[in-house]
């Protein structure tokens, strides 16, 4: 539950086809009221008109631009085709503003996180100054020195961490060789405000054993960047289950269930919404995890098929990842107006029947 | 929200401790069968009513209640709190595990927290730690399930008593007391004695005979912390040691509440005008003009508004607020009431660090006495003004002194700062417009109201008006809290504290604490004003002055500061969460001589880190976490 983070409210996704309006735009004509007998086929009510959003004048990298009020700096920059790397920002969730990779220079004493800062009239934004590039380089070096980032990126909409590392000249090995991994649950037991003094020979990391405690998904917190996405998705922003939270403090902060109990004992309902928003592969379905371990996960051989979930009347869009004619993962489009990438346990994991084949003996066989 | 609680049932003792805090505020737990629910012992049902659901701010007080009673906070106890307040247990676990003074692992009832921060290091705290380790086992791990354990602690805010310690003995009532100077054998004797009655150090000793009445003997003891106590000409410290801090009558007789009376006569606008004209800036470290803050909240249309007093005082080397809380608590109550009157806020909170049990008790007593005498409540002084104050205890987290983290902590969330803007004057506590001021800042308010802004502004310099409290510690003859008009030089303040101890040569001074900078003897002529410090690339911070003579090991102190920031980072943002770890590792390499590349390479890496932390961290902790360390390494002779 992150209600206290209370960042300035940001506009939701634009209904398709809408555009910001200027005050002098003609009003949208109203559709005529139908007084006939209602048509037999149910009509989906039209979306309410887009809120009126006046344009603000600002400057991005010296270029004057007009940006709809309420946009974030990040949205304004992306609309201008300027790429800004982000780690803790995911479509469909409120920005957390914590990774700081997206910082830009607005002339203040410190840099500004573009993902969570609304534009203001007259703002002068610099996205690629030496100061900005230095901060981004160090952030990439720091996160790369502490967290396994090899799965972070390729599936992000906007580039890969490896490409950013190259672009910013980041060298995560500058801080020394990695320390040996922590033991099982060792990080979960740490007491806030206390830690063992380092000798500096090795760099402390998040490395720890993967938590495999249920049939649906695994938690590899060696890959966790503490972006709060899973917590927000599980809590107030989507699922309302609140099974996980950030626990501990400082470098010992970690995502945890209540009292670090295994997932099957926790409040988790296996909706998998946290998996869908995790940007680093820290949360991964058991199927994907096992295929990767076995070396059979082959992104190049995968196709995606969209369909509608058949379990209930909500009709969530499913996006099936298929490899070798078998479903290996179920996602839902993050940009969808209604479901925003969320599913329930049935839609997310209840696909075994699809690939069950009658055996010679005539019984159904899953696998 | 589906509340799903899996922990086993809390013990009757845990429940009693929790109910003792919650029942007066949200009513008794639903009584089971009568309400159509099974009794607690039989079922895991969540049954918080609406009042409970909206009282997440009671989470931290309830966690403290369990820690106080049992010595640690079990998952069943957290489960019971969650059931009563309708909070997801994972969230509550996240909050409990955030605070150093709460333990989610089993601990014996007694814990000694030994300060091993700067002033205490200089006074031999490592020897105490070694003694305790030998007798009690490693930190936090009692030998043979013994009845006591010990922890290292960051600065306990008693640097003038160094080496200091905080003792916590769980029970009903719990005993929490801090003091110094302590020694390993004395602590072990006290633990063996078991009666828990023996004083730990100076703090307890202040009151031994004659209670809190202002006797000469008591004044003499107070002078060991506040050497100027009882002198004339003081503004902020004028009542320290000369009145009974538990007596409202004494306070009123010594001029208390005349400022509130004048404020009510002047009206809110005139009070704010006076503060603006007097020009004080915040004494909590950020030096923001207080009048502007108050004016912004007065002008805000959103309701309700709040007044918050930041008494978290956890900046290493800073202990001045402690004296005000312990010895002149009614002055803070009065000043907060004036702030409420001037800005239109009806509720105040004072957030006191958990390491200040005496200050907390004195404040709670002052608030209760003021309330029963009509100085707080629905009709303050019969003037139709409504204002009341609640005390909140911190849990051992430096970051909770940062204003937005402090709000989150009061609200029952993890003490994580948020991005600003919006600033507290717009969206502060519970999202309402909020005046947040440091204890010392508030102590200036009655003075401004009574003597007028001209008189106030005539003291100090145009950029730094009024008086300032300095916490002087380390290698000086008379460490303590000193009040001066702004203007004297650093050297003059050190002389006020008796000069460098034992006639030794001055090596360096840490100005502003861990978030400050080290300066060399060449800075002795610098006037201690905000403008002169800024000009010299230094900072006053909250007025900490740690004096170091030629025997001080600056690398050791820099390493302690690095450890402090590594422990105290809230962990939200990458530059600070990981940067503070890398900084500490780097210093360990410099100290051991096993650098990666040359020392110059390490310094370049440290500078790279510092720049990114300063530029990209969310809050002041990460932004300043490199300054003191980098400045220590720049002092001549530190890197051989
Ligand atoms: C890491 C950190 C710790 C802080 N700790 C304290 C503190 O213990 N007490 C305090 O008054 N201000 C502290 N502050 C400053 C507060 O955020 C805030 O500026 C201050 O309470 C405002 O009051 P003032 O204007 O009266 O100084 C801290 C700031 C930071 C960044
Ligand atoms: S699977 Fe669903 S319920 Fe379980 S932790 Fe993830 S978001 Fe929460
Ligand atoms: S597990 Fe994934 S989504 Fe959750 S905080 Fe870590 S990186 Fe982010
Ligand atoms: S700078 Fe440090 S303390 Fe401040 S928000 Fe970031 S991690 Fe937390
Ligand atoms: S993407 Fe903006 S702070 Fe992480
Ligand atoms: S009390 Fe030990 S350094 Fe402040």
What pLDDT, in 10s, does the model give residues A130-175?
999 999 999 999 999 999 998 886 554 445 788 899 999 999 999 9
Mean pLDDT, rounded, for B546-569? 97
Percent of chain B with pLDDT strictly greater than 70: 93
Instruction: For residues B169-197, give the mean pLDDT.
Output: 86
Give 3-state DSSP helix, strand, coil % of chain A, rounded to 5: 25, 15, 60
Contacts of A155 (CB under 8 A, 6+ apart): none
Percent of chain A with pLDDT over 70: 81
Mean of the pLDDT values across residues B68-78?
A: 97
Residues in B touching A258 (Cβ below 8 Å): 5-7, 75, 78-79, 88-90, 92-93
**pLDDT of the residue at A20:** 39
A37 pLDDT more than 80 = no
Looking at the structure, tell me whether residues A237 and A155 fall in a common domain: no
* Residue A235 forms part of a structural domain: yes
Q: Please indicate whether residue B53 or residue B57 has the higher confidence score (pLDDT).
A: B57
Verify that A234 and A319 share a domain, yes or no: yes
Location of structure tokens 């402690």? B322
pLDDT band at B6 (very low <50, low <70, confident <90, very high): confident
- In this prediction the pTM is 0.93
A328 belongs to a structural domain? yes
How many Å lie between the centroid of ligand 6 and the Cα of residue B186?
18
What would the two tokens of residue B522 be? 């060449």
Q: Cβ(B283) to ligand 1 under 6 A?
A: yes
Over residues B494-512, mean pLDDT? 96
Which structural domain, as residue segments, surrounds residue A254?
217-355
Q: Do A330 and A228 reside in the same domain of the chain?
A: yes
Q: What is the pLDDT of residues B90-115, one digit of tens each?
A: 999 999 999 999 999 999 999 999 99
Flag whether A20 is in a domain: no
pLDDT score recorded for residue A52: 75
In this structure, the answer to whether residues A253 and A147 fall within a common structural domain is no
> How many domains, chain A?
2
Q: How far is A305 from chain B (nearest CA, A)?
A: 33
Nearest CA to A70 among A6, A5, A10? A10
Tell me the shortest Cα–Cα distance from A112 to chain B, in angstroms: 7
**Per-residue pLDDT, B211:** 83
Mean pLDDT of A1-9: 42
For residue B209, pLDDT over 80 is answered with no
Nearest to A192 among B100, B152, B579 (CB): B100
Q: Which residues of B98-117 are buried (b: 16+ CB within 10 A; e: fewer)?
A: bbbbbbbeebbbbbbbbbbb
Q: Which two tokens stand for residue B517?
A: 């900078």
User: Which pLDDT does position B196 carry in this prediction?
Assistant: 54
Is the ipTM reported for this complex over the cut 0.85?
yes
Picking from A153, A175, A197, the residue at the C-terminal end of a domain is A175
Interchain contact, A257 vs B90, CB within 8 Å: yes
User: Could you tell me which residue, A190 or B30, shows the higher pLDDT?
Assistant: A190
For residue A359, what pLDDT is reported? 63
Predicted confidence band at B3 (pLDDT cuts at 50, 70, 90)? confident
Using the 3D structure, point to which of A124, A148, A175 is the last residue of a domain. Answer: A175
Does A144 share its domain with A243?
A: no
> Tell me, what's the pLDDT at A41?
52
Q: Please report which ligand is nearest the Cα atom of B510.
A: 6
User: Measured from the CB, is residue B162 less than 6 Å from ligand 6?
Assistant: yes
Residues of B in contact with A2 (CB under 8 A): 413
Q: How many CB atoms lie within 10 A of CB B263?
A: 26
pLDDT band at B52, cuts 50/70/90? Answer: low
CATH code for the domain of A344: 2.20.25.90
Q: Is A269 in the pocket of ligand 2 (CB under 6 A)?
A: yes
Residue A66 falls within a domain, yes or no?
yes
pLDDT higher than threshold 90 for residue B191: no
Helix (H) or strand (E) holding A283: strand A283-285
Long-range contacts of B197-204 (CB under 8 A, 24+ apart): B200/B165, B200/B167, B201/B161, B201/B164, B201/B165, B202/B161, B203/B158, B203/B161, B203/B177, B203/B178, B203/B179, B203/B358, B204/B177, B204/B179
How many residues can be counted in chain A?
Answer: 367
Residue range B461-477: mean pLDDT, rounded: 97
Select the residue of A142, A194, A267 nearest B90 (Cβ to Cβ).
Answer: A267
Our answer on whether the CB atom of A247 is closer than 6 Å to any ligand 3 atom is no
Domain co-membership, A226 together with A341: yes
Q: B510 or A335: which carries more pLDDT confidence? A: B510
Identify the band that residue A5 occupies on the pLDDT scale cut at 50, 70 and 90: very low
- What's A163's domain CATH number? 3.10.20.740
Q: Is the residue at A190 inside a domain?
A: no
Q: Is B403 in the pocket of ligand 1 (CB under 6 A)?
A: yes
Q: Measured between beta carbons, which residues in chain A are less than 8 angstroms from residue B98?
A: 192, 247-249
- Distance from CA of residue A150 to its chain's centroid? 16
Report pLDDT for A361: 58
| CB pair distance less than 8 Å for B611 and A259 | no
Claim to verify: residue A236 and residue A171 sit in the same structural domain: no
Interface test with A, best of B115, B567, B574, B611 (most A CBs within 10 A): B574
Report the alpha-carbon distance of residue A191 to residue B412 in Å, rounded: 19
Same domain, A153 and A223: no
Mean pLDDT, residues A57-78: 96
What are A230-250's pLDDT values in tens digits?
Answer: 999 999 888 889 999 999 999
pLDDT of B200: 57
Share of chain B above pLDDT 90, in %: 87
Mean pLDDT of B600-609: 97
- A97: which 2 tokens? 């503003």
Q: How many CA atoms lie within 13 A of A16 on its CB side?
A: 5
Note the pLDDT of residue B142: 77
Asked whether residue A141 is assigned to any structural domain, the reply reads yes
Q: Half-sphere exposure (CA, 13 Å, Cβ side) for A11?
A: 19
Residue of A176, A247, A255 to mutate, testing the B interface (most B Cβ within 10 Å of its Cβ): A247
Tokens of B277: 């004209």
Task: Look at B578 and A146 and tell me if their CB atoms are within 8 Å.
Answer: yes
In what order do the strands lie in the sheet containing B347-352?
B377-380, B385-393, B347-352, B306-311, B434-438
Q: Is residue A69 part of a domain?
A: yes
Distances (CA, A) of B85 to A39, B19, B394: 49, 11, 19
Among A175, A202, A237, the domain-final residue is A175
Confidence of residue B488 (pLDDT cuts 50, 70, 90): very high
Looking at the domain assignment, is residue A197 inside a domain? Answer: no
And the tokens for A211? 């938590």
Exposure string over B330-345, b if 16+ CB within 10 A, otherwise e: bbbbbbbbbbbbbbbb
Q: Confirm if B284 and B401 have CB atoms less than 8 A apart.
A: yes
A146 closest CA partner among A102, A208, A88? A208
pLDDT digits (tens, 9 = 90+) for B143-154: 777 789 999 999
State mean pLDDT over B458-468: 96
Whether the pLDDT of residue B50 is over 90: the answer is no
Closest CA to B407 of B422, B396, B418: B418
Q: How confident is the model at residue A14 (pLDDT cuts 50, 70, 90)?
A: very low
A239 shares its domain with A345: yes
> With an 8 Å Cβ cutoff, are A139 and B616 in contact?
yes
Region B306-314: mean pLDDT is 98
- Rounded CA-CA distance B423/B442 in Å is 19
Beta-carbon count within 10 A of B269 CB: 11
Contact A110, A79 (CB under 8 A): no
- The mean per-residue pLDDT over the stretch B485-492 comes to 96
Co-location of A222 and A117 in the same domain: no
Choose the closest CB to A195 out of B97, B566, B615: B566
Q: SS3 of B506, please?
A: strand
Distance CA B89, CA A267 (A): 9
B429 lines ligand 1 (CB under 6 A): no
Residues A332 and A265 in one domain: yes
- Tell me how far CA of residue B294 lies from CA of A275, B273, B289, B340, B383, in angstroms: 46, 10, 9, 9, 21
- For the Cβ of B158 lying below 6 angstroms from any atom of ligand 6, the answer is yes
């Amino acid at each position: 539950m992150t209600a206290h983070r209370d960042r300035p409210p940001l506009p939701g996704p634009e209904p398709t086809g809408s555009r910001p309006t200027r005050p002098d735009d003609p009003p949208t004509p109203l559709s005529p009221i139908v007084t006939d007998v209602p048509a037999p086929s149910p009509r989906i009510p039209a979306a309410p008109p887009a809120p009126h959003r006046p344009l603000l004048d600002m400057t991005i990298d010296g270029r004057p631009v007009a940006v709809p009020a309420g946009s974030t700096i990040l949205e304004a920059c992306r609309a201008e085709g300027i790429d800004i790397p982000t780690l803790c920002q995911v479509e469909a969730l409120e920005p957390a503003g914590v990774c700081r990779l997206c910082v830009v220079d607005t002339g203040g004493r410190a840099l500004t996180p573009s993902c969570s800062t609304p534009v203001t009239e007259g703002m002068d934004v610099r996205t690629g100054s030496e100061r900005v590039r230095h901060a981004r380089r160090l952030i990439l070096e720091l996160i790369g020195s502490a967290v396994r980032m090899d799965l972070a990126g390729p599936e992000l909409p906007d580039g890969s961490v490896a490409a950013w590392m190259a672009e910013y000249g980041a060298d995560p090995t500058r801080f020394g060789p990695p320390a040996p991994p922590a033991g099982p649950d060792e990080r979960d037991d740490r007491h806030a405000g206390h830690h063992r003094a380092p000798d500096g020979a090795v760099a402390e990391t998040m490395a720890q054993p993967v938590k495999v405690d249920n049939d649906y998904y695994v938690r590899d917190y060696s890959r966790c960047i503490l972006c709060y996405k899973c917590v927000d998705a599980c809590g107030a922003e989507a699922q309302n289950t609140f099974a996980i939270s950030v626990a501990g403090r400082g470098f010992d902060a970690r995502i945890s269930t209540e009292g670090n109990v295994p997932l099957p004992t926790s409040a988790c309902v296996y909706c998998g919404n946290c998996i869908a928003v995790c940007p680093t592969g820290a949360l991964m379905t058991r199927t994907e995890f096992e295929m990767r371990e076995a070396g059979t996960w082959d992104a190049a051989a995968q196709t995606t098929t969209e369909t509608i979930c058949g379990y209930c009347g909500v009709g969530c869009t499913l996006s099936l990842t298929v490899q070798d004619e078998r479903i290996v993962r179920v996602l839902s489009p993050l940009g969808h107006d209604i479901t925003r990438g969320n599913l329930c346990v049935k839609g997310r994991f209840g696909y075994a029947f699809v690939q069950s084949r009658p055996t010679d003996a005539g019984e159904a066989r899953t696998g | 929200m589906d509340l799903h609680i899996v922990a086993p049932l809390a013990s009757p003792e845990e429940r009693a401790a929790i109910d003792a805090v919650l029942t007066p505020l949200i009513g008794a737990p639903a009584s089971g069968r009568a309400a159509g629910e099974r009794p607690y012992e039989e079922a895991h049902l969540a049954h918080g009513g609406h009042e409970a659901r909206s009282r997440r701010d009671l989470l931290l007080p309830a966690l403290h209640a369990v820690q106080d009673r049992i010595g640690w906070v079990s998952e069943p106890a957290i489960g019971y709190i969650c059931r009563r307040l309708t909070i997801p247990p994972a969230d509550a676990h996240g909050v409990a595990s955030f605070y150093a003074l709460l333990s989610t692992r089993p601990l014996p009832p007694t814990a000694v927290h030994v300060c091993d921060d700067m002033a205490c290091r200089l006074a031999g705290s490592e020897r105490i730690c070694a003694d305790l380790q030998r007798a009690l086992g490693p930190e936090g791990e009692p030998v043979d399930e013994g009845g006591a354990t010990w922890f290292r602690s960051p600065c306990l805010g008693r640097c003038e008593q160094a080496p200091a310690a905080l003792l916590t003995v769980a029970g009903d009532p719990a005993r929490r007391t801090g003091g110094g100077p302590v020694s390993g054998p004395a602590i072990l004797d006290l633990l063996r004695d078991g009666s828990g009655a023996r004083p730990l150090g100076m703090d307890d000793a202040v009151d031994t005979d004659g209670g809190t009445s202002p006797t000469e003997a008591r004044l003499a003891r107070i002078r060991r912390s506040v050497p100027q106590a009882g002198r004339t000409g003081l503004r902020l410290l004028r009542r320290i040691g000369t009145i009974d801090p538990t007596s409202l009558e004494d306070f009123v007789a010594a001029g208390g509440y005349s400022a509130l009376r004048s404020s009510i006569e002047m009206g809110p606008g005139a009070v704010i005008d006076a503060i603006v004209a007097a020009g004080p800036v915040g004494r909590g470290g950020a030096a923001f003009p207080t009048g502007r803050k108050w004016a912004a909240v007065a002008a805000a249309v959103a309701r309700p508004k709040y007044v918050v007093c930041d008494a978290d005082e956890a900046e290493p080397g800073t202990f001045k607020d402690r004296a005000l809380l312990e010895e002149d608590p009614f002055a803070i109550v009065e000043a907060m009431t004036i702030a409420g009157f001037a800005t239109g806020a009806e509720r105040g909170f004072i957030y006191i660090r958990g390491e200040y049990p005496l200050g907390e008790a004195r404040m709670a007593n002052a608030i209760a006495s003021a309330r029963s005498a009509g100085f707080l409540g629905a009709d303050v002084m019969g003037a139709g003004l409504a204002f009341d104050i609640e005390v909140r205890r911190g849990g051992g987290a430096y970051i909770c002194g940062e204003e937005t983290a402090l709000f989150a902590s009061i609200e029952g969330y993890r003490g994580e700062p948020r991005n600003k803007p919006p600033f507290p004057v717009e969206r502060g506590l519970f999202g309402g417009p909020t005046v947040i001021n440091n204890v010392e800042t508030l102590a200036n308010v009655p003075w401004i109201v009574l003597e007028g802004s001209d008189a106030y502004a005539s003291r100090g310099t145009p950029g730094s008006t009024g008086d300032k409290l300095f916490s002087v510690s380390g290698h000086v003859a008379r460490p303590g809290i000193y009040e001066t008009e702004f203007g004297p030089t650093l050297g003059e303040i050190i002389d006020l504290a008796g000069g460098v101890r034992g006639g030794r040569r001055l090596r360096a001074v840490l100005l502003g604490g861990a978030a400050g900078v080290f300066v060399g003897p060449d800075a002795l002529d610098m006037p201690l004003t905000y403008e002169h410090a800024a000009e010299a690339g230094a900072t006053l911070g909250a007025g900490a002055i740690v004096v170091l003579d030629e025997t001080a090991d600056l690398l050791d102190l820099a390493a302690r500061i690095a450890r402090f920031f590594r422990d105290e980072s809230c962990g939200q943002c990458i530059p600070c969460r990981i940067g503070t770890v890398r900084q500490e590792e780097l210093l360990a390499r410099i100290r051991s001589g096993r650098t990666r590349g040359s020392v110059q390479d390490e310094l370049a890496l440290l500078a790279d880190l510092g720049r990114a932390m300063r530029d990209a961290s969310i809050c002041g902790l990460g932004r300043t976490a490199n300054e003191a360390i980098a400045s220590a390494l720049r002092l001549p002779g530190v890197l051989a």
